[in-house]
Structure 1
Amino acid sequence: MPKKKNFCTICRRVSQKLFLKGEKCVSTKCSLIKKSYIPGIKSKKIRPGTSDYKKELMEKQKMKEFYGISEKQFKGYVKGILKKKGKVEDASLELIKKLEKRLDNIIFRLGFASSRAQSRQLVSHGYFLVNGRTLNISSCQIENHDIISFKEQKKGKMIFKEIVSVLKKKECPSWLKLDKETIKGEIVAEPSLESAGIPAEISSVFEFYSK
């Protein structure tokens, strides 16, 4: 059985909020507020030194954990873009598109889950339809004008009712369209660097994997 991730420790390790636990991250219960120092370092005044490699590693970790994906998957996205060097106009934007258009991320962005971790759990349990068909692969790339909705059989679940109540005040990115009446979402444009709000330097991520 895989070890459960401690999301609060991940944020403390990179010294930045990655918003991995939904509402807790924007409340006073956030562990980064109480313990802003890196785990394993007892004094708040002591900070480890930095080098170019450490900085690049840190930025890579931030971005990978922000989306909650494995090292293998993340490396695959970056390496795939690096192989297209000269054919891709904006490598950073290309990476963002790959990550933002994953099914688990879109469900999170639409407000159908409180975190990407919860999104992946719901996807694996078959909660969602894409263009009317069940899709239970979190990493699946969703195309423009695809329609994401809840499976009818899942609408009686308590978690669906909780999501509906939260959706009333939900504002999703401009590249997504959310119908709060039918509880359906659609990709209407391409995601942008600005809308993604990445808490990392993407150039450092490419530097890390280009060596």
Structure 2
Amino acid sequence: MARYTGPVCRLCRREQQKLYLKGDKCYTDKCPVAKRNYAPGQHGQGRRGNMSNYGLQLREKQKVRRYYGISESKMRKYYAMADKMQGVTGENLLKILEMRLDNVVQRLGLAESRAEARQLVTHGHFVVNGRKVNIPSYLTSVGDVIEVKEKSKASPKFKELVEKHQGTTKPWVQFNSEKLQGNIISEPSREDIDLPIEEHLIVELYSK
């Protein structure tokens, strides 16, 4: 399935909640969800009837896919991994998604959005444990060190991002602003994942 390349604000409006896909714009009055809190399209303002259980499950799954910017095939792959792990399957799924390299880069404040993080990773601006990694879906592990590549550290963009997002990283990652380096110190807990989602609905959908 091809990646969605249209206006990402339509995705937020479709879910009728902010998915924070545009970085800083999502926190301003310019956010389309704040101005037009209804689904896109000519019938977007029409009445929405009661949604079936399947509809609720599907919407929750779509929210997560859009939030992390992944395809359906990737989502199914991660669900299969989560289902084999010990613990609660839904929470395991969100932990796997959080450990993707593009998400970690965004969590460290080195990108304003996951889309930008994916682009930066693809362009080879980061090294993991000293090795260049340009695959956004690369799954990091506890103890990994993610660092901006030496040649990229002089870029004013990274300095600007660090100043803007100083102190906004999550408890499961540590960030050294001088070295432009982050450490994964633990797996994220469910409380660390600021996603208003009912992951059990996704499990119900995929377990049918």
Could you tell which deviates more after superposition, 175-184 or 111-120? 175-184
Q: Letter of the aligned partner of 1:115 in structure 2?
A: S
Q: Give the letter for the 2:18 counterpart.
A: K
Cα distance change of structure 1 residues 155 and 106 upon mapping to structure 2, 3 Å threshold: same
Q: How far, CA to CA, are the matches of 1:99 and 1:9 in structure 2?
A: 22
Q: How does 1:84-123 map to 2 (within 5 A)?
A: 84=84, 88-123=86-121
Report what 1:39 is aligned to. Answer: 40
Structure 1 range deviating more: 92-101 or 188-197:
92-101
Counterpart position of 2:152: 154
Per-residue deviation, 1:123: 0.2
Corresponding position of 1:67 = 68
Equivalents in 1 of 2:66, 2:115: separation in Å? 11
Residue 181 of structure 2 corresponds to residue 184 of structure 1: yes
Structure 2 counterpart of 1:172, one-letter code: T
Count of residue pairs brought into register by the alignment: 207
TM-score (norm 2): 0.92
| Cα drift, residue 64 of structure 1 | 1.0
**Residue matched to 1:145:** 143
- 2:151 is matched by which residue type in structure 1? Q
Cα deviation per residue 1:23-44 (whole Å; 9 max; x = unaligned)?
0001100000111111125464
Equivalent residue number for residue 4 of structure 1: 5
User: Matched residues in 1 for 2:161 and 2:26: separation?
Assistant: 18
Report the alpha carbon displacement of residue 164 of structure 1 after superposing the two structures with TM: 3.0
TM-score (norm 1): 0.91
Q: Is the 8 A contact 2:129 2:145 kept in 1?
A: yes
Q: Which residue is 2:82 aligned to?
A: 81
Question: 2:170 aligns to what?
Answer: 173
Moved over 3 A (4+): 41-45
**Contact 1:147–1:187 under 8 Å retained in 2:** yes
Alpha carbons 1:63, 1:199 under 8 Å: kept: no
Give, in whole Å, the separation in 2 of the partners of 1:40 and 1:97: 34
Tell me how far 1:144 sits from its aligned partner. 1.1
**Structure 1 counterpart SS, 2:200:** helix
Q: CA deviation at 1:8?
A: 0.5
2 CA distance for matches of 1:208 and 1:16? 21
Equivalent residue, structure 2, for 1:18: 19
- Backbone CA RMSD of aligned residues: 1.8
Structure 2 Cα separation of the partners of residues 30 and 171 of structure 1? 21
Question: Does the CA contact (< 8 Å) of 2:90 and 2:202 recur in 1?
Answer: no
